[in-house]
Amino acid sequence: MENELTPWPRRYYSPTDQVPYLFYVVFGASVGEQFSLSRIRHRCDGIPEGIGISAYGPDKHPDVITSFQQGYLWEELQTTNPALADEISTQTECVIIQGHCADDSDLNYFRNVIGLITALLESDGVGVFDPQSFMWWSAADWRTSIFDTPEFQPHKHVTILVSEEGDDAGWWHTRGMRKFGRPDLSIHGVHPENHSAIKELFDRFIEYLAHGGVINENQEIKMKSLPAGLFCRHGGNLDDPDFNNFHVEIKNYSDEK
């Protein structure tokens, strides 16, 4: 039917104890008279159960908006996208979308929140901040990169970080998988000759987990482009500052001996 929304299924879905957690800040937006949420135009058929919407401004906890305009992530935005940082710094209002999604058997909850954010950007919003994945978008970038894409692309909502460890090795780890109720990924001691293979592995896992897949404890990894003996071990907790999430550590059996 013409008014039917395209569902976002999770083709590998298995239920787990984790539930998706979303947290977005839309700067400059308001939920006043100008705000309008359209089922068809924004591909949103309702606010997911468990998701809350809070508006802040000059007369309601003005310190909330300024709290996002400081610290490492804000300083990095000022360096990498000074135009967006300048625009955000002049805003006196923001809307926070936050909460745990009760039903994660499909990705319709994510589709609906993406539509909600798009509607808020159309209501004077100038930018979006996703603290979980350390991402910032201008209103235009959100529209072209996130909302206007023909199909859901989980890689655009997850950040792969690389931290130097010395001896030409690096720690590869992700942020953002909590949005799908799934653990983040981590592997230490990655050398340059394995960068492309680890990137491919992470991309595969991000796609698989976002669509509801589950990585089993001690699951072995078999890729011709990676050394033999790699396996997965679950760890961490939601208070872990490196992930703010549980994570899967990819290890080598030789390190366990």
* Paired tokens of 159: 């950040």
Rounded to 10 deg, the angle between the 82-89 and 72-80 helix axes is: 120
Of 140, 141, 106, 146, nearest in space to 6 by CA: 106
Per domain, the residue ranges of the chain are 21-152, 155-256
pLDDT given at position 81:
98
Which tops the pLDDT comparison, 221 or 35?
Answer: 221
What's the pLDDT score for residue 35?
A: 86
> For position 250, what pLDDT does the model report?
97
The predicted structure's pLDDT at residue 80: 97
What is the identity of the amino acid at 257?
Answer: K
User: Rounded mean pLDDT of 164-183?
Assistant: 95
Residue 257 confidence class, pLDDT cut points 50, 70, 90: low
Name the phi and psi angles at 254, rounded to 5.
-65, -25
Return the structure tokens found at 255: 């390190």
Task: Give me the phi and psi of 63, to 5 degrees please.
Answer: -70, -20
What percentage of the chain has pLDDT greater than the value 90? Answer: 88
257 versus 236: which is more confidently predicted? 236
**DSSP letters for the chain:** -TTPPPP-B-TT----S---EEEEEEET---STT----TTTTT-SSPPTTEEEEEEBTTB-THHHHHTSSSHHHHHHHHH-HHHHHHHHT---EEEEEEE-S--SBSHHHHHHHHHHHHHHHTT--EEEETTTTEEEEHHHIIIIIISSSS--GGGG-EEEEEEEETTEEEEEEE-GGGGT--EEEEEEE-GGGHHHHHHHHHHHHHHHHTT--PPTT-EE--TTS-TTEEEEEEEETT-TTTSEEEEEEEEHHHH-
CA distance 120 to 113: 10
pLDDT score recorded for residue 1: 46
147 φ, ψ (degrees, to nearest 5): -75, -40
Q: ∠ at Cα 135 (207, 10), nearest 5°?
A: 25
Over residues 1-32, the pLDDT tens digits come to: 457 899 999 999 999 999 999 999 999 998 87
Q: Pairing between strand 51-56 and 230-237?
A: unpaired
> In the sheet that 220-221 helps form, which strands lie side by side, from edge to edge?
159-166, 169-175, 184-190, 245-252, 230-237, 220-221
Segment 94-104 mean pLDDT: 96
pLDDT at 149: 85
% of the chain surpassing 70 pLDDT: 98
pTM of this structure: 0.94
Q: 167: which 2 tokens? A: 């001896």
What is the predicted pLDDT for the residue at 166?
84
